[in-house]
Amino acid sequence: MIENVPFALLLGIKVLVVLGLMLGVSLVLIYAELKWSAHIQSRVGPWYVGGRWGWAHPLAEAVKFLQKEDLVPEEADDKVFRLAPYVMLAGTVATFVVIPIGPEWVARNLDVGIFYLLAISSLSTLGVLMAGWGSGNKYSLIGGVRAGAQLIAYELPLVLALVAVAIQAGTLSLTGIVEAQATPLFTIGGVDIALPYVLSGQIIGFVIFVIASLAELNRTPFDLPLAESELTMGYVTEYSGLRFTMFFLGEYAGMVSMAAIVSTVYLGGYWMPGLSDSALDIAGPFILLAKIFFVLFLFIWFRWTWPRIREDQLQGLAWKWLIPLTLFNIIATATLKVVL
C-alpha cells in the first residue's frame, strides 16, 4: 500500500503528521505542566480560559504572544539574534525523523539512528548559545555559556549510555532497537517473555540517560542557563513576542523529543507485549504516546520537587559519577553480551 504512494507526497504527509504530533503534544504538555505543578504546590492552576479547568490556557498564551511587539535590541548582533530560534526549532523537529511510532510508521529508518539523534539534538543547544551571544546582554551571555558547559558535561553520559544499548541491540537503528526489545528473552510455562531494556539490564543506563537528558533540556535541577532568580531570564532575556514563544515552544518540543527517545530506547517504544504487528500498526502510536507522557510526568515531577544545583556540583556530578558509571555499564553490558 505504502509502496505505491509517490515519495514527495509521502514525505509531505510524514512532515504534517510529525508537526501535528509535536505541536499537539507540546501544547498538552504546557497545560499539563501548569496543572501538575499547581497540584504539587496545592494550587488550582489555570482555571478560567476555555470554560472548564482552563484547558485553553496554552492557546490563549500563544495568541497573546502573537500580538506582542517584536523587539531587537540596538546593540545585539542582529543576524545571530534573529537566526537563533530557527536553529533551535530546526534541530528539534529533525529529531523526530528516526522515531518509529509503529512497526511500519517511521519518517525514515536511518541506519545510523542513534548517532543521528545525538548529533541533531545538540543543534538546539547551538541555538541557545547563539541566542546568548547574539543578545549582547550580560545575563544572556552567561546563560549561553552555561548552556555550553552543560552540553559538554552531559553529552558524554548521554552518548555512553546509548553505547550500552547499541551493544545489547547490535544495531543503531531505532526500529531495530524496538524490535530487539520485542524479541523474547526466555520462556516461562510456554509463554515467551520479552522485556524492554529498562527491565533487562539497562536500568543504570536508563537512570543516567534521564538525568543527562534533563541537563540537555536545561530543566530543573539543571536549569542554570535560564535561572530566573539570578539571570533574569538567561539566554531569552532580550527576546520578546513570537521569538520568545518559539524558544518556549522549542524547549517543550525538545522535552517531547527527549521523552520519545527515552520511551523508544528504554521502554520499548510502540511495542507492547501480546499484540501482533498488524495490531501494533494501529495501537503503536497510542502506546508510544502513553510512554512519552509517563516520561514527561517524571520530568515535571523532578522539576517541582528539586532545587537547582550549583554549576560546580553540576560538573562534578557528570565527570565524577555519571561518566565513570556509564563506562562500567558499557563494560558490564559487553561482558554479559559475550558470555551469555
Under rule CB under 8 A, which residues in 197-236 are in contact with another protein?
232
**Can you tell me which of 172, 212, 226, 280 binds another protein, judged by CB under 8 A?**
172
Cβ closer to another protein: 237 or 263? 237
Please name the amino acid found at residue 315: Q
Q: Under a CB-based contact definition with an 8 Å cutoff, are residues 300 and 36 in contact?
A: yes
Residue 45 in contact with another protein, rule: CB under 8 A: no
Residues 173-192 binding another protein (CB under 8 A) are: none
Is 61 an interacting residue with respect to another protein (CB under 8 A)?
Answer: no
Please state the closest distance from residue 25 (CB atom) to another protein, in A: 15
Residue placing its CB nearer to another protein in the complex, 301 or 319 = 319
Amino acid letter, residue 201:
G
Position 265, amino acid: V
For residue 64, CA distances in Å to 9, 61, 138, 245, 247 come to 35, 5, 28, 10, 15
Least distance from another protein to the Cβ atom of residue 157, Å: 10
* Contact between 256 and 25 (Cβ < 8 Å): yes
* β-bridge partners, 191: 188
Q: Closest approach of Cβ 203 to another protein, in Å?
A: 19
Q: DSSP letter at 317? A: I
x-marked contacts with another protein along 247-286 as a string, rule CB under 8 A: ----------------------------------------
Near another protein by CB under 8 A: residue from 138, 185, 279, 301 = 138
- Compare residues 49 and 242 and give the one whose CB is closer to another protein: 242
- List, in sequence order, every residue forming a beta bridge with 32; answer none if it has no partner: none
Tell whether residue 308 is a contact of another protein (CB under 8 A).
Answer: no
Beta carbons of 26 and 252 less than 8 angstroms apart: yes
At residue 41, the 3 state secondary structure works out as coil
Among 136, 298, 302, 304, binds another protein (CB under 8 A): 136
Task: Figure out which of the listed residues 21, 117, 160, 261 binds another protein, where binding follows CB under 8 A.
Answer: 160
Dig out the grid coordinates for 273 from the structure: 507485549
Question: Is residue 336 a contact residue for another protein (CB under 8 A)?
Answer: no
CA angle 18, 295, 303 (to 5 degrees): 115
> What CA–CA distance (Å, rounded) separates 311 from 150?
9
Restricting to residues 104-133, name those near another protein by CB under 8 A: 107-108, 110, 115-116, 120, 133
Q: Is 321 in the site for another protein (CB under 8 A)?
A: no
In sequence order, the 6+-apart residues with CB closer than 8 A to the CB of 116 are 97, 98, 110
Least spacing, CB of residue 312 vs another protein, in Å = 4
Q: Nine-digit cell at 81?
A: 539574534
192 touches 141 (CB < 8 A): no
C-beta of 110: minimal distance to another protein in Å?
A: 6
Q: Considering the complex, what minimum distance in angstroms separates the CB of residue 156 from another protein?
A: 5
What values do phi and psi take at 110, rounded to 5? -70, 140
Our finding on whether 29 is near another protein (CB under 8 A) is no
Q: Tell me which residues in 88-107 interact with another protein (CB under 8 A).
A: 89-94, 96-97, 107
Nearer residue to another protein within complex by CB, 162 or 272:
162
Angle between helices 277-303 and 241-266 (to 10 degrees): 120
Amino acid 126 reads L
For position 24 contacting another protein by CB under 8 A, the verdict is no
Size of site (CB under 8 A) for another protein: 81
User: Of the candidates 66, 185, 203, 290, which one interacts with another protein according to CB under 8 A?
Assistant: 66
- Is the four-CA dihedral 164, 167, 169, 173 of positive or negative sign? positive
Q: Which of 40, 275, 327, 332 binds another protein (CB under 8 A)?
A: 327
